[in-house]
Chains A and B, each alone.
Chain A
Amino acid sequence: MPADTLAPTKPSWADEVEEEEDAFQTQVYTDENGLKVIVEYRDNDDGKKVKVTRKIKTKLVTEYVNKAVAERKKWAKFGEEKGNKPGPDLSTTTIGENIPLKLSSSYGKTPTAEQQTDEQETKMRQALKSKNIMCRICKGEHFTSKCPYKDTLQPLDEIAASLEGVKNEGSSRPESPEPSGGSGMGPNKYIAPHLRKGATAVGESPREKRDDSATLRVTNLSEDVTENDIYELFRRFGQISRVYLARDRETGVCKGFAFVSFGMKEEAERAQQAVNGLGYDSLILRVEFARSS
């Protein structure tokens, strides 16, 4: 009976398990540097036990505010915000882009870039005053590209040519040059202003073009996701300047993708690597850099 002989030296299997559990229990203590240490044991994906040691440094920051101000911070929300939890709501409060305030006592005295271009323009105009300029469209005294009728009329010569073509109809296809911007359908076809040849970008957005280099596109989101969820998910990677969640226009539920803009590209890269492939709400997220359209 070997088991019997071994019994005094080796504790029973039940004790062994108990002891093991004790050894793997989470320990929390404060070390000599005043850091709070949490030691945890957990099973990793391969079924092995791993020891996780976390050291937490707590720093008490005391901020002195007016008594009345401190009192007001505790006020309950009311009106349209009634019942909402404390903290800024992303639907009303967002952080804008970084805007520099460069202070100098000679501001406005040194011409800015726009003023310089304006000056150049006036100079050019003065230089051109003496020269003979004729517009191909209306025969006015300006460049063809600056003609007020350039979007509505075609050059006079071309009209003449196309008229000629109509006269010769039946004998052969007119060899007249195509009207500017025309797609080969004759002069009467409507062409949208922005598609016309020589048309500059009209209706440019009044906002500055957004810098999309630090913007991530998050896809495969579940329907229940809200802006705040996205914000919570990405907040730890850095300053988020914008969260856009695509929602269905009628039902208001998430359409499955969102855009997250960070302040810096490095933050966005870190977030992309960390969150891409992450399981979220039983779906696997896909995160990639947004391609600017």
Chain B
Amino acid sequence: MRPILLQGHTRSLTQIKYNREGDLLFSVSKDKIVNVWYSHNGERLGSYSGHQGAVWTVDVNSTSTMAITGSADNTAMLWNVQTGKCLKTWEFKTAVKRVEFNEDDDMALCVTEERMGYPGTVTVISINPDLEAAQSDEPVATIVNDGGPKAVVAGWTYLNKFIICGHVDGSITQWDWKANEKLNTIKPHSESLTDIQFSTDRSYFITSSKDKSAKIFDTITLDELKKYETDTPLNSASITPKFQEFVIVGGGQDAMNVTTTSARAGKFECRFWHKILEEECGRVRGHFGPINTIAVHPDGKGFSSGGEDGYVRVHTFDSDYFKFKSDH
């Protein structure tokens, strides 16, 4: 595998995301820049400028016409993917840590930070899919986990039925967002969640946590289906959609501790775990800092990882990958 290295950022990556067909790859980092790349050759299509603070999160709608980003400058911005024009800026009280379009592209959720006396929220905003139309300022719903730990990640279940939130204490909650009602709470992780990614049909999701484990849950019952325990704090976990039943997890020691140990001890590798058998199958090295974010190409033929080192590495699997069969 010869990865393509993308050097469009000067600070650590916070999230990368493929669009629905996988031909575009969006990357956001703490250096305020949002980049979009062609995933097949690593060519940069453009950048979206406008944010005043670190950009934490990005998502693109299913038709790849609009992208939304959330930033530490307390705003979420909606962009025209093709031209790089900012279509709308939503102001929040605190930083926006996670955004995600729903399946119909007519709403997006924004997870806001708990800071300066303001509670952490999950705010649902409505999006008009028409590029020319004016966007509404009023949130559709605001979920506040009263007195509970703040949410750090969140996502929609299938048919936009529920919102699943991952919290800083390792708990996961399921919300009926229309009724603003908490339906279920579990506490599978002992430390903060770092990422949540859904399967293609959104019937199950994988979480990664600082407690060194990644777990798969059913979206409706929140039953724990699978568990992957590693030896390093995890920052991201992703599910391969086709060809192989794998999950890819990545992490590494905290950025603040990196200089105290050698690269070997840092464990900055993407680890491939068999999704069903819960055993590790392989690793891909390359980053020289912790891996912050992983995304798998929607056609299952490659994946990308973004690290604290500021690089995005775009991998395309070799033919061996498709032939692999587990011994069991």
**A: which residues have CB within 8 A of B?**
65-66, 68-69, 72-73, 75, 77-82, 86-89, 91-109, 114, 204, 206-207, 239, 241, 263
Chain B neighbourhood of A96, CB < 8 A: 2-5, 286, 313
Chain B neighbourhood of A68, CB < 8 A: 21, 63-64
Known contacts A79-B46, A79-B47, A93-B6; A99 and B277 CB within 8 A of each other: no
Chain B neighbourhood of A88, CB < 8 A: 41-44
Chain A neighbourhood of B282, CB < 8 A: 101-104, 107
Roughly how many angstroms separate A239 CA and B2 CA in the complex, as a whole number? 11
In chain A, what residue has the closest Cβ to B231? A108
Chain B neighbourhood of A102, CB < 8 A: 282
Contact assessment for B263 and A107 in the assembled complex, using a CB-CB cutoff below 8 Å: no
Roughly how many angstroms separate A207 CA and B307 CA in the complex, as a whole number? 14
Contact assessment for B1 and A86 in the assembled complex, using a CB-CB cutoff below 8 Å: no
Known contacts A68-B21, A94-B5; A105 and B277 CB within 8 A of each other: yes
Could you write out 30 A-B pairs with CB less than 8 Å apart? A77-B44, A77-B46, A78-B83, A79-B46, A79-B47, A81-B45, A81-B46, A87-B41, A92-B6, A92-B7, A93-B7, A93-B43, A93-B44, A95-B2, A95-B4, A95-B5, A96-B4, A96-B5, A99-B3, A100-B1, A101-B272, A101-B317, A101-B320, A102-B282, A104-B281, A107-B279, A107-B282, A108-B279, A204-B262, A239-B2
Chain A neighbourhood of B101, CB < 8 A: none
Roughly how many angstroms separate A108 CA and B279 CA in the complex, as a whole number? 9
Chain A neighbourhood of B158, CB < 8 A: none
Known contacts A87-B43, A93-B42, A206-B288; A79 and B48 CB within 8 A of each other: yes
Roughly how many angstroms separate A17 CA and B1 CA in the complex, as a whole number? 59
Contact assessment for B324 and A92 in the assembled complex, using a CB-CB cutoff below 8 Å: no
In chain B, what residue has the closest Cβ to A82? B46
Contact assessment for B272 and A99 in the assembled complex, using a CB-CB cutoff below 8 Å: no
Asked if B260 CB lies within 8 Å of chain A CBs, one says no
Beyond A79-B49, A101-B320, 5 additional contacts (C-beta under 8 Å) are A66-B23, A93-B6, A100-B1, A103-B272, A105-B274
The 8 Å CB contact of A207, one of B45, B279, B288, B315, is B288
Chain B neighbourhood of A108, CB < 8 A: 279-280
Shortest Cβ distance from residue A11 to the other chain B in the assembled complex, whole angstroms: 58
Main secondary structure of the interface of A (DSSP, over half): loop
Chain B neighbourhood of A97, CB < 8 A: 2
Size of chain B's interface in residues, with CB distance under 8 A? 54
Taking CB atoms and an 8 Å cut-off, the chain B residues in 245-291 that contact chain A are: 262-264, 266, 272, 274, 277, 279-286, 288
Asked if B16 CB lies within 8 Å of chain A CBs, one says no
The 8 Å CB contact of B321, one of A92, A95, A103, is A103
Chain A neighbourhood of B315, CB < 8 A: 99, 101
Contact assessment for B21 and A66 in the assembled complex, using a CB-CB cutoff below 8 Å: yes
Chain B neighbourhood of A263, CB < 8 A: 2
Contact assessment for B327 and A92 in the assembled complex, using a CB-CB cutoff below 8 Å: no
Contact assessment for A73 and B84 in the assembled complex, using a CB-CB cutoff below 8 Å: no
The 8 Å CB contact of B2, one of A87, A92, A98, A105, is A98
Chain B neighbourhood of A207, CB < 8 A: 263, 288
B317-328 vs A, Cβ < 8 Å mask (1 yes, 0 no): 110110010111
Roughly how many angstroms separate A206 CA and B105 CA in the complex, as a whole number? 43
Asked if B24 CB lies within 8 Å of chain A CBs, one says yes
In chain A, what residue has the closest Cβ to B49? A79
The 8 Å CB contact of A80, one of B46, B64, B326, is B46
Chain A neighbourhood of B4, CB < 8 A: 93-96
The 8 Å CB contact of A99, one of B33, B42, B264, B286, is B286
In chain A, what residue has the closest Cβ to B80? A78
Chain A neighbourhood of B24, CB < 8 A: 72
Taking CB atoms and an 8 Å cut-off, the chain B residues in 28-59 that contact chain A are: 33, 37-38, 41-49
The 8 Å CB contact of A107, one of B21, B280, B288, B317, is B280
Contact assessment for B277 and A101 in the assembled complex, using a CB-CB cutoff below 8 Å: no
Roughly how many angstroms separate A16 CA and B327 CA in the complex, as a whole number? 80
8 smallest A-B Cβ distances: which pairs? Answer: A79-B47, A78-B46, A78-B84, A93-B42, A206-B263, A79-B46, A88-B43, A108-B280
Roughly how many angstroms separate A89 CA and B43 CA in the complex, as a whole number? 7
Chain A neighbourhood of B33, CB < 8 A: 80
Roughly how many angstroms separate A263 CA and B4 CA in the complex, as a whole number? 14
Roughly how many angstroms separate A68 CA and B284 CA in the complex, as a whole number? 32
Known contacts A81-B47, A114-B264; A101 and B3 CB within 8 A of each other: no
Asked if B82 CB lies within 8 Å of chain A CBs, one says yes
Contact assessment for B7 and A91 in the assembled complex, using a CB-CB cutoff below 8 Å: yes
Chain B neighbourhood of A206, CB < 8 A: 262-263, 266, 288
The CB with the most chain A CB atoms within 10 A, among B1, B33, B46, B280, is that of: B46
Taking CB atoms and an 8 Å cut-off, the chain B residues in 123-149 that contact chain A are: none
Roughly how many angstroms separate A65 CA and B6 CA in the complex, as a whole number? 24
Contact assessment for A79 and B84 in the assembled complex, using a CB-CB cutoff below 8 Å: yes
Chain A neighbourhood of B47, CB < 8 A: 78-81
Contact assessment for A103 and B3 in the assembled complex, using a CB-CB cutoff below 8 Å: no
In chain A, what residue has the closest Cβ to B309? A206
Chain B neighbourhood of A105, CB < 8 A: 274, 277, 279, 281, 326-328
Chain B neighbourhood of A98, CB < 8 A: 1-2
The CB with the most chain B CB atoms within 10 A, among A79, A104, A204, A241, is that of: A79
Contact assessment for B1 and A99 in the assembled complex, using a CB-CB cutoff below 8 Å: yes
In chain A, what residue has the closest Cβ to B63? A68
